[in-house]
Amino acid sequence: MEDVVEKIWMTPTALQRLQDELAELTRGGAQSSARARELRGLVEHAEVASKPDDGRVEPGMQVSVRFESTGREATFLLGSRALAGLDPTVEVDVYSADSPLGRALVGNTVGSTVTFTPPAGRQRVTVLAAVPFA
* Same domain (yes/no): 41, 99: no
Q: Quick check: is 38 in a domain? A: yes
Taking 80 as the threshold, does the pLDDT of residue 5 lie above it? no
* Same domain (yes/no): 21, 66: no
Structural domain including 71 reads 56-132
pTM of the complete model: 0.86
- 25-43 confidence digits (pLDDT tens): 988 888 788 999 999 999 9
* Same domain (yes/no): 22, 88: no
Report whether 80 contacts 96 (CB < 8 A). Answer: yes
d(CA 42, CA 46) in angstroms, rounded, equals 6
* Same domain (yes/no): 70, 95: yes
Instruction: State mean pLDDT over 89-107.
Output: 95
What H or E segment, with its residue span, contains residue 94?
strand 93-95
Q: Quick check: is 3 in a domain? A: no
